[in-house]
Amino acid sequence: MHALRMRGKIITAGALFAVGGLALTGCTAGEDTNAEPTNNSVEGNQSEGETVVIGFSGPAADHGWLKAINDAALAEAEKYPDIDLRVAEGTNDANLQISQVEQFINDQVDAIVLLPTDGAALTDVAIRAMEAGVPVINVDREFSSPFAARATVLGDNYGMGVSAGTYICEQVGDQPDAVVAEIAGVDALPLTQDRSEGFKDALEACGLEVTNRVAADFTVQGGEAAAGQLLSAAPEIDALWNHDDDQGIGVLAAIDAAGRDEFIMVGGAGSANAMREIESGDSVLQATIIYPHTQAADGIRLARLLAQDKAMSDLVEIEVPNRVVLNAPVVTSENVGEYLPTAFES
């Protein structure tokens, strides 16, 4: 197992721990301002504690969003002088990732942040880590047992579909015969199934349905091939949802090659290049749905809190939550300036 260590300084940032809720820790009349910070106060959380060793195993960075996941996790760890991050080599091989987790267990790390290449395949080794007293923070792809993780950080795949469908309803819902198309990711993955289910449910609310659907593979080449197939089969389209902005590069290339511009397109994940297309006003791409690339970075923060017996400062509860599901907002020309500065590059 290839590993490296990273140390750094602390600053306040991150989608999961917005510090707007300072009222929980503000002083009131008669309060002892010299009191020791509690384990879920802002001061207590950010104060340097005992060094914690966190093992991180993530995917191979062969996709813009996956690279962004890894980069954000490493950058987050660098902010904290009390984090010793051990990073396993990114892989799409479930067996190799199992051996990486086994090594973390043998090394007696304080916590493990794991984005599994296959949630079901990594469940048993995650349970072994938990049984060994090493808390596991599961990121993005869920394990198949609740006993495999102390905390889980997820994007909202079903919510992505709902957001995409709701936006399309707002744009073409007054057309009862509107032709709605969908280019999914990998159909075998639960996350793709959840996205499609949410999309279907949202469209039903305005009397629409998906009339043309193909699946791709989250790659540029796969997106271009799938879009070419879809466009040939559907001579007229009113709205199209593409699940992933990386494969969306290929989808847009196929659309340009076909000379089609009669429909609106919605993307997924929230890449910077997709947002620039939206910002330009010259593209069929009118919106994209955020799937946060901060999930592993959030996992690093949670791992530190767990290992230092701390909790989330914006909650009254004095323990880290079991499950955190991040939001799936819609980015359009009206709010793209808010999201573009922190978007990832495809």
Q: Are 208 and 169 in contact (CB under 8 A)?
A: yes
18-33 tens-digit pLDDT: 333 333 333 333 344 4
Q: What is the average pLDDT across 205-213?
A: 97
Cross-strand bridge partners of residue 290: 269
Angle made by CA atoms 327, 328, 329, in degrees to the nearest 5: 105
- Banded model confidence at residue 53, pLDDT cuts 50, 70, 90: very high
Confidence (pLDDT) at 37: 55
pLDDT of residue 20: 34
Please give the average per-residue pLDDT across 38-60, as a whole number. 83
- Of 85, 196, 190, give the one whose Cα is nearest residue 140: 190
Find the DSSP H helices in the chain.
42-46, 64-78, 94-106, 123-131, 157-172, 190-204, 220-233, 245-258, 272-280, 295-307, 336-339
Residue-wise pLDDT for 306-321, tens only, equals 999 998 888 888 889 9
Per-chain mean pLDDT for the chain: 89
| CA angle 70–129–313, rounded 5-degree value | 60
DSSP for 187-223 reads TTSHHHHHHHHHHHHHHHTTT--EEEEEE--SSHHHH
What is the mean pLDDT of the segment spanning 188-194?
92
The pTM assigned to this predicted structure is: 0.84
| Residue 7 DSSP symbol | -
| Tokens coding 60 | 């191979």
Contacts of 110 (CB under 8 A, 6+ apart): 52, 53, 54, 134, 303, 307
* Range 133-137 contact pairs with CB under 8 angstroms and sequence separation of 24 or more: 134/104, 134/105, 134/108, 134/109, 134/110, 135/111, 135/303, 135/306, 135/307, 136/111, 136/112, 137/111, 137/112, 137/113, 137/299, 137/302, 137/303, 137/306
Average pLDDT over residues 50-54: 96
pLDDT of residue 44: 67
* Rounded percentage of the chain residues whose pLDDT exceeds 90: 80
Distance CA 140, CA 87 (A): 17
| Domains in the chain, CATH or no CATH each | 5-154+294-315 (3.40.50.2300), 157-291+331-342 (3.40.50.2300)
* Strand 151-154 versus strand 136-139 pairing type: parallel
